[in-house]
Chain A
Amino acid sequence: MDEKVLITGNEAIGEAAIQAGCRFFFGYPITPQNKVPEYLSYRLPQVGGCFVQAESEIAAIYMVFGAAGAGARVLTSSSSPGISLKQEGISYIAAAELPCVIVNVMRAGPGLGGILPSQSDYFQATKGGGHGDYHLLALAPSTIQETVDLMMDAFDLADKYRNPVIVLADGCIGQMMEPVEFKERPSEVFPPKDWAVTGAKNRPRNLLKSLYLDPEKLEQHNLKLHKKYLEMAKNEVRVETYLTEDADIIIAAYGTVARISRTAIKILRKKGIKVGMVRPITVFPFPYETFAEISEKVDNILVVEMSLGQMVEDVKLGVCGRANVHFYGRVGGMVPTYDEIVREIEKIRRSQVS
């Protein structure tokens, strides 16, 4: 398939999963991601897969646990409150070291919040979310094409690290349409899933669990997991830098806000203000080093988010006091406009001159 198709982000998530070899989906409906299960409910049976609308998010995530434990490529998707419900199961899956992909089409919170776009689940996705010392690999697409590409990578990465991967989208990405291409992928060969529970005839039995009552063993298990996260940080950081070479001010943004910032940068450059952007594509592991390097070259970095300042903490860790870190955010389902971002940059510039 090399022809471009015009589809919504939600449908793209579904199709990319299928093309990445995912044959199982378990979920429970919630706006604004409903097109994901809708699409997979008819598409999965066409390829011999299995779609189950579970009785709740909690049931769905444990179905994911089961399918992943049996060695299948499996997906669940939801939006913010639904992802919160899944956190216990996600912690179990991370502890049992099972690969799966979780999509969060973020909507505004807290609580039931609203159904419009948001990025206020950044902490939840990057710092844990459930209980215990664990991390998800977190990918944050900003176009529909990138959503497709990252969805496919997500399944590979999950298998590679035996770890759940979360794709952090938002209501805009889910609802909008863009032309996309489903590229033929070189099939990567991964070690067979010899840990899966598939029936122990003629082999020693496999055990997948998260309970370790012996504290010494549990500490060893935690350290093993931790080593994996350090590996991810070493190998899997992805980041885009845009017009940073000659920039005086840097915008840090991801997902939908990054593309709005791109338009703001175009307007600002026409006005003669040299602005560039650092766009994290993985938000865990976070591109700390890129921010460390950039903070040697510029004095001001503006973080723009659809939250009241979550990624700004990671940016500050990278910058480590070498540059001023400013913040601009909209919440509640309000999406920042490029005009607002232009104004914020101009404000920073004025305050530097005076």
Chain B
Amino acid sequence: MAGFGGQGVLFIGRLLAHAAMKEGRNVTWIPSYGPAMRGGTANCTVVISDEVIGSPVITSPHSLIVMNNPSLDAFEPRLKTGGLLIVNSSLVTHEAKRNDITVVKAPANKIAFEIGSDRVANMVLLGAYSACTKVVTKENILEALKKVLGEKKKHLFEINKTAFEKGLETGNL
């Protein structure tokens, strides 16, 4: 998953990793880290497997969530043949170039804005991804959300949950 710093790509990666752990799978989460600035790019890689996980960094992933144009340009060529590309169509204006992959577009910022906050666009996309792949259950994502938000940010649970559910609907279309 990739986007601008601040869009919450590392956050949804963590939720996915938490949910996978809850389901007893092996999982790794690794952020791209380096000298960064506000508005720069951010991405993380989550590997979920029933086997022991070797490399936490993957040359060609099965799925990709992109939240902005630079991420689409950078990572689309690396997606596996037959892979899944989830696109935030509110901000991504470039078109995906490949025809050997499945592209699912979700106007994440628009949906998030309608339910009350632009900032949960990431959750819409995680919802769309979950609906398409069914790699983890909705219950476990929500469980993970509760855990990662913790006591301090408990008040953000509902809006994140709503955004995730809207995303599930988008992905199920």
Contact = CB atoms under 8 A, between A and B. Distances in A.
Interface string B3-16: 00000000000100
Interface residues of B, number: 20
A4 B57 contact: no
B56 interface: yes
Given A178-B28, A179-B21, A338 B34 contact: no
A115 B30 CA distance: 15
Contacts, number: 61
A32 interface: yes
Contacts of B17: 6, 177
A260 B18 contact: no
B14, B28, B53: which has the most chain A beta carbons within 10 Å? B28
Given A6-B29, A178-B27, A172 B54 contact: no
Contacts of A228: none
Contacts of A176: 28-31, 56
Contact of B30 (A177, A262, A338): A177
Interface in B4-50: 14, 17-18, 21, 26-31, 33-35
A179 B59 contact: no
A175 interface: yes
A262 B57 CA distance: 12
B55 A175 contact: no
Interface size class of A (residues with CB under 8 A): 20 to 34
A339 B59 contact: yes
Contacts of A115: 33-35
Contacts of A263: 54-55
Given A175-B30, A178-B27, A179-B27, A338 B52 contact: no
Nearest to B13: A177
Nearest to A257: B55
Interface in A123-147: none
A171 interface: yes
A335 interface: yes
Nearest to A180: B21
A171 B33 contact: yes
Interface string B125-149: 0000000000000000000000000
A177 B33 contact: no
Contact of A177 (B14, B52, B55): B14
B25 to A, nearest CB: 9
A236 B33 CA distance: 35
Contacts of B21: 4, 6, 179
Contacts of A4: 21
Interface of B: 14, 17-18, 21, 26-31, 33-35, 52-57, 59
5 nearest interchain CB pairs?
A: A263-B54, A262-B54, A176-B30, A177-B29, A260-B55
